[in-house]
Structure formats: C-alpha cells, structure tokens
Amino acid sequence: MSEIANVLIVDASKLARMLTKKNVMKHKKDCKIFLAGSVSEAKAIIDENAIDMLITALVLSDGDGVEICKHIRNNQHYVPVLVVSGDVDNRVQERLMDADVTDYLDKSRGQSGLELFIKGILAPESKVEGHVLYIEDSRVVAHATKKVMANYGLTTDHVLTVTAAIELLGSGKEAIDKYDIILTDYYLKDNETAQWLIDHLREIQQISKIELPLVVMTGDENEKNQKQILKSGANDLVLKPVDNDVLLKKVQFQIRFKKFQRKQK
C-alpha cells in the first residue's frame, strides 16, 4: 500500500488536470487531489497542505513548473515530482534534474506514459525489503527499533556515532549500492548531530536524495528547524516519541521511491 495521501496536479489546461486526476484516482482511490492552474495557486496549496506527490506542467501562465518543484523541496518532505513537458532536449533535462525532479515526461507520450509513472509510485509492491544504515546512540532504543524493522524485511547495520556511519558508507558509489536508506537520530552523544552526516552525504560525497534517502528522527517541534533539516538534505522527518507505524511507512516509502527510480534508468 502506498503512503501517498495528497496529490497536487498543476496544469494550465483544465482538461489536462481532469485527465491526470482520473489517471491518479484509477490507482489510488483514497487519496485527496489538489488542482492548480498556475505557479501562485500551487504555492498557496503547498503552504497550506502536506503534499505527497506533485505532477506539474513545465509551462504555466505565471512561470514554470520548476519554481513549484523548488518551493515544495524547500518547504516539505521529499516527495515524488513529475514534470510534464513538450520539450525534453538536453537543455531542459539538465535544468530539471538540477531542481531535484524525480522524472520528466514528454507530452507526446500522453496519458499512457503518465500512467507508468503514477502506477510505479502509487501502486508498488506490497512488501519492500531493504538494507538500513541506522545511527542511534541508545542501544536499548536501537535494539527495539531493529527488531521492528526486521519483522518487515529490513536488515540493519547499527552504529552509535556519525563518525562510525561515515566509515561504513565508504565512497559515494559504495554507499549507494550498500544501503537503501539511512535512518538517524538528530542529536547524538559527544555533541554529534545528523547535520554532520547530511553535509557529508550531500556536499562532500555529492549523493542526491534519490540515490540514498535519509530519514531523521527528532524531538524538535520547531517548524523552522524542521524545514532547515529538510532543506539541507534530509528526505523526511519522524517526530519523537517515535510511532513505529509512522517510522516504517516513511522508511518503506523512501526505499520504494529509490528502487522505482533506479528501474527507470
């Protein structure tokens, strides 16, 4: 079952919006659909609602879809983003990937091409297996969390510090192939924080959020601080005290997302 509940569809054409909505509902009847015809409308929806998937046209009346992609990346957890364009030459492709777009679709492929993406995200395999790098400085908490993940087919390498995690990761390609996701507490012993690991992954190793997702557990309820963690390179947050069901859904979704994207290459 997909964890996607809210889908935002943005297109200047009312007909295109309705056709895409019909396609989404075909695979996920219980999700809520938001429709927008412009960049400003889309941003307003994002500011007021938690969006789990974005499908947007590139060309809009007051800007382009890339603006919406950047806005959602800066303000919410990491979500699948599809940009639909009539121009998929190298210049546009390069530009879109810089904006952290999950995928792009040539309009000439029509609704059938769109359905492939939607089905892959909204109707994945019911069970997902994966290998987790888990950073937690409490052995008691780690033991319980590892047991929960193991019951759902998730194996873990557990370490107590960011320093140990970085040693296990190795080079960029090694890390991407070795682990499907990183799960870490934000505040650790000896004044370490998950930010060290985020900076190592995203800035030094240049590993993208799609290549190796990272979920952070934090007790900080300050929304400004939460947004900063996401903006700096985390894919998603789990608030403490941790709800295991929420944790599993978020971890499984990010693994599915990574594996779906790798299949497209």
String of DSSP letters for 60-111: ETTEEHHHHHHHHHHHS----EEEEES--SHHHHHHHHHTT-SEEEEGGGHH
What is the percentage of the chain residues whose pLDDT exceeds 70? 88
Same domain for 205 and 174, yes or no, is yes
Domain boundary residue among 122, 147, 163? 122
Token duo for residue 129: 């297996």
Same domain for 29 and 80, yes or no, is yes
pLDDT tens digit sequence for 10-46: 999 999 999 999 999 988 888 899 999 999 999 999 9
Domain boundary residue among 122, 151, 177? 122
Can you say how many angstroms the Cα of residue 39 is from the centroid of all Cα atoms in its chain?
A: 21
Same domain for 75 and 96, yes or no, is yes
In the chain, the number of structural domains is 2
Name 171's Cβ contacts closer than 8 Å, sequence gap at least 6.
205
- pLDDT tier, 1 (very low <50, low <70, confident <90, very high otherwise): very low
Domain boundary residue among 95, 122, 149? 122
Same domain for 55 and 134, yes or no, is no
Polymer length of the chain = 265
Are β-strands 181-185 and 130-135 bridged in parallel, bridged antiparallel, or unpaired? parallel
- pLDDT tier, 91 (very low <50, low <70, confident <90, very high otherwise): very low
Are β-strands 59-60 and 63-64 bridged in parallel, bridged antiparallel, or unpaired? antiparallel
Q: Are 231 and 252 in contact (CB under 8 A)?
A: no
pTM: 0.75
Q: Kindly report the CATH number assigned to the domain that includes residue 73.
A: 3.40.50.2300
Name 109's Cβ contacts closer than 8 Å, sequence gap at least 6.
none
pLDDT tens digit sequence for 169-183: 998 889 999 999 999
Does residue 179 lie in a domain region? Answer: yes
**Boundaries of domain holding 90:** 6-122
Asked whether residue 92 carries a pLDDT value surpassing 50, the answer given is no
Same domain for 200 and 151, yes or no, is yes
Does residue 135 lie in a domain region? Answer: yes
Query: CA nearest 38: which of 60, 71, 15, 5?
Result: 60
Query: How much is the pLDDT for 36?
Result: 98
Backbone φ and ψ of 113, nearest 5°: -65, -40
Asked whether residue 191 carries a pLDDT value surpassing 70, the answer given is yes
